[in-house]
Structure 1
Amino acid sequence: MQTSQVKSPWLWVPSLYFGQAIPYVVVMMLSVIMYKANGISNTDIALYTSWLYLPWVIKPLWSPFVDMFRTKRFWIVGLQLLIGAALGLVALTMHLPTFFQMSLAVLWLMAFSSATHDIAADGFYMLGLRQQHQAAFVGVRSTFYRLGMLAGQGALVFLAGQLTERTGDVRFAWSVVFFVLAAMFLALCVYHHFMLPRPAEDHAVTKGGNPLGEFFATFGAFFRKREIWLILGFILTFRLGESQLLKLAAPFLMDPVAKGGLGLTTSQVGVAYSTVGVIALTLGGLLGGYVISRLGLKRCLWLMVLAVHIPDLVFVYLASAQPQNFYLICTSLALEQFGYGFGFTAMMMYMIMVAEGEHKTAHYAICTGLMALGMMVPGMVSGKIQEILGYQHFFIYVCLMTIPAFIMAALVKIDPEFGKK
């Protein structure tokens, strides 16, 4: 026991967050590109893939039970096994006549497992590291999360594009991609079974024999937090613009120039958005974690809010000019993604700050569930809005949707010392 408790965080923090990214990026981006490549409309893509956020939205409803039963370590390893199996099942649906409906159903089940895994992983992070190390490793965790996105999104989107071009079979190409993802996730499951530490604090959190009472007490404690309405407003609006841009970014890149897009192939999207963009996102996250650790969250907040939202103007430019220079497109996407990666670190640290207390695992899950709600609902209607407005006006509308985040940033209260080393 003692030996496992002193394992270096470098042996498990990078791999834990690398693994956490994979199923989430499948829902966030891979499903969008896959369905676009199969000819599904923007309206249907945005609506139905936004429903895949639902497990992350409602995960606070069962997050107290992750606290109350078994260890976070048990949840992490067991759920990684289930997620790997689900990714394999998605691959098997590709050639079914009703693949769209069947793949969505399996992806929703995978998303449920992934959301529960996130509860356990985030709680394990806070239990396994002291607070000063949490701030120091927030950039590391963010970086390896982005590397997970790069592995599960960039290279595999490129692979899907290459296989499609060589075989002419879109569904075969994507079935290979999902089998590779399944193998990757099952390998992580085996690794974590042996390498995750066993901190003494990782145990079921119960005070008596009334689980239902403790469930409501955990929720009540969160919503009794001081200035809860500012907390809710900040979390729900921080990604209001991004939630809609994210659903339409890949379709915009893939749609032909005549329809207002940039006409990139699947392989080119894999390079430009899913590789160059994710690398820039990763570098931005690293820098964001470092800056917060040196200056504290309060002093960095406005800089980071600006960094998240101002680069959305890049998409206004791309939709207006429709440049065909691939290097210019890559540079533009890198700029937008670097700013987002840098600024989003503020939200991660803010949620950790809000979650501090006895039920930090459940309270952090509530925060992330609220953030997912702020992503899901606007995302559901974004496809229809884009088809009405066209890409150029849609991206202008997205920029206007960032205004509430600036208002909430002016109102929210931050501990001046939080996040500093």
Structure 2
Amino acid sequence: MSTRSPWTWVPTLFGAEEIPSAMVTFVALLMFLQCGASPARATLCAALLFLPWTLKSFVRSWIRRRGHFRHTIHWLEAAIFLSLVLVALSFPYGQGALFASLMLTSLLCSWHELTARMYYERMLRPPLQCVFTTPKIFFSQTAVVLTYGMLIIAVGGLQVYYRHILHAWSTGCYLLAGGFALFALYHLAALRPPAVGNRGASHTVSGSVKAEVHIIDRIRQKPGWLAPVISLFFLLLPQSLMFFTRTIYLYESRAQGGLGCSIQEIGFAQGTVGVMAFCLGLTLGRRLLLRGSPRRSFWLFAVALGLSPLVYLYMTLSPPASLRGICACTCLAQFCFGLGLYACRLPVRYISGERYRNTINLLYIPLVATCLIPPAALSGWLASVCGYRLFFLLDALTAPLGWLVTILAMRRYPMAFTRREGA
């Protein structure tokens, strides 16, 4: 085992991977909107960017058999840097080019997350992994806050300078690529190989796909495996529907039913204050799940997931008159989202076991991403048809439906909702 302190690489490895991931997950929606896409098309494109996260498990065995993962991390980080440059270059060529470059970035980010997690598990023994869980989460969440909030605010400032929004986005992406490149260069020296690799006889992608299909077949043999999946879909439905529309509601003009916020205001309210509240909710949720009764904690999380639409429904009934009011509402909604997201842990553990115990962002778990994509993709169209007030009302009404489905699933298959969270 390498003698180099984990403090020299854990913060930078997991902080750096969130720089492009946060751009693809949260910022891409605004990119599409400011490139002229309608809300319906913007949410569809942004939701499809989650597809690589749903499919990343199919290359898991292929990556694992490549060895000790250090070289894989290096070439992935080089490829991510180039993909960020492609994103910056794509703005003058329209929405199709932007979508293609963002999809490539999302694919590489999903592979990097998988490889970094394997490297972390190989380099640190389980007791040491427990020690570094909190620092790993802290630096990862800090990177999300800085990337989401500061990138949008910077682009807003550059728009004033250039007088052209696409030039501003291109420059912002170049700056993001440069910042990520510094971390990648540092990792060339900071990452050390473990004492023992794990190269296998097979390195083919097709073999990895077959191995994952075999795992899926074994999952389907578990008693009642479909019940927690359906329950998870309906529990996440309120948040899935508003995952992108909450930002569109802030962005669209008051004449179109939105709040007419500037991009800088969105960057501060949603990308900084909101993401900080989301991270705080995640932190509290993890502590409650580790210390409390799993069933009691689960229902606290499940109820919290359904509260966020009520905040936005209130905003449509009584629009905030100042940025402070918008920040207060987004803070509360995002805190409930972060806290409630830990309701996913127990169904995911029943389906996938301990595979994702070291995953930082629960949205990057394939099952969670799969449940999120269909409602999120349709949400922009639904909001355009219904109007924001009716949309958030209907969204809020899906929460009791999710609770009812979960109650029925828990009565039929209680074992899927009572396993304790590991370290």
Question: Per the shorter chain, which TM-score range?
Answer: 0.7 to 0.9
User: Structure 1 residues 151 and 360, CA, compared in 2 at 3 Å: closer, same or farther?
Assistant: closer
- Which residue in the other structure is 1:77 paired with? 74
The correspondence for 1:211, drawn from 192, 207, 211, is 207
User: Structure 1 residues 91 and 124, CA, compared in 2 at 3 Å: closer, same or farther?
Assistant: same
- Which residue in the other structure is 1:3 paired with? 3
- Which residue in the other structure is 2:18 paired with? 21
Q: How far, CA to CA, are the matches of 2:257 and 2:352 in structure 1? A: 43
- Length, aligned pairs only: 415
- Which residue in the other structure is 2:172 paired with? 177
User: Structure 1 residues 380 and 322, CA, compared in 2 at 3 Å: closer, same or farther?
Assistant: same
Paired residues of 1:163 and 1:173 also in contact (CA < 8 A): yes
Matched, 1:167 2:162: yes
Residue 65 of structure 1 deviates from its aligned partner by 1.9
Matched, 1:316 2:316: no
Amino acid at match of 2:156: G
Q: How far, CA to CA, are the matches of 1:365 and 1:331 in structure 2? A: 24
Residue 338 of structure 1 deviates from its aligned partner by 1.4
Q: How far, CA to CA, are the matches of 1:419 and 1:132 in structure 2? A: 16
The correspondence for 1:65, drawn from 59, 62, 72, is 62
Q: How far, CA to CA, are the matches of 2:362 and 2:280 in structure 1? A: 26
User: Structure 1 residues 89 and 195, CA, compared in 2 at 3 Å: closer, same or farther?
Assistant: same
Residue 190 of structure 1 deviates from its aligned partner by 2.5
Q: How far, CA to CA, are the matches of 2:347 and 2:195 in structure 1? A: 26
3-state DSSP of counterpart to 2:260: coil
Q: How far, CA to CA, are the matches of 1:264 and 1:87 in structure 2? A: 27
Residue 14 of structure 1 deviates from its aligned partner by 3.3
Counting only pairs closer than 5 Å after superposition, residues 361-376 of structure 1 correspond to structure 2 as 368-376=365-373
Deviates more, 1:227-236 or 1:300-309: 227-236
Q: How far, CA to CA, are the matches of 1:197 and 1:298 in structure 2? A: 41
- TM-score normalised to the size of structure 1? 0.87
- Which residue in the other structure is 1:268 paired with? 265
| Matched-pair identity in % | 24
User: Structure 1 residues 143 and 303, CA, compared in 2 at 3 Å: closer, same or farther?
Assistant: farther
Q: How far, CA to CA, are the matches of 1:159 and 1:409 in structure 2? A: 43
Paired residues of 1:302 and 1:409 also in contact (CA < 8 A): no
User: Structure 1 residues 107 and 77, CA, compared in 2 at 3 Å: closer, same or farther?
Assistant: same
- Which residue in the other structure is 1:332 paired with? 329
Paired residues of 2:290 and 2:422 also in contact (CA < 8 A): yes
User: Structure 1 residues 308 and 198, CA, compared in 2 at 3 Å: closer, same or farther?
Assistant: farther
User: Structure 1 residues 139 and 291, CA, compared in 2 at 3 Å: closer, same or farther?
Assistant: farther
Q: How far, CA to CA, are the matches of 2:381 and 2:143 in structure 1? A: 30
| Deviation readout 1:200-246 (Å, 9 max, x if unpaired) | 67634679999365454333334334542234224434422212211
Counting only pairs closer than 5 Å after superposition, residues 325-364 of structure 1 correspond to structure 2 as 325-348=322-345, 351=348, 354-356=351-353
- Which residue in the other structure is 1:148 paired with? 143
The correspondence for 2:375, drawn from 360, 378, 383, is 378
| Deviation readout 1:112-150 (Å, 9 max, x if unpaired) | 111222222333444455556656655544433322221
Paired residues of 2:363 and 2:369 also in contact (CA < 8 A): no
Residue 191 of structure 1 deviates from its aligned partner by 3.0
Amino acid at match of 1:377: P
Deviates more, 1:204-213 or 1:387-396: 204-213
The correspondence for 1:119, drawn from 114, 117, 121, is 114
- Which residue in the other structure is 1:35 paired with? 32
Matched, 1:51 2:48: yes
Paired residues of 1:296 and 1:417 also in contact (CA < 8 A): no
Q: How far, CA to CA, are the matches of 1:293 and 1:420 in structure 2? A: 8
Q: How far, CA to CA, are the matches of 1:115 and 1:211 in structure 2? A: 19
Question: Which one has more relative contact order, counting CA pairs under 8 Å at least 6 apart?
Answer: 1
- TM-score normalised to the size of structure 2? 0.86
Q: How far, CA to CA, are the matches of 1:12 and 1:296 in structure 2? A: 35
Amino acid at match of 2:290: S
- CA RMSD of the aligned region, Å? 3.3
Q: How far, CA to CA, are the matches of 1:196 and 1:350 in structure 2? A: 34
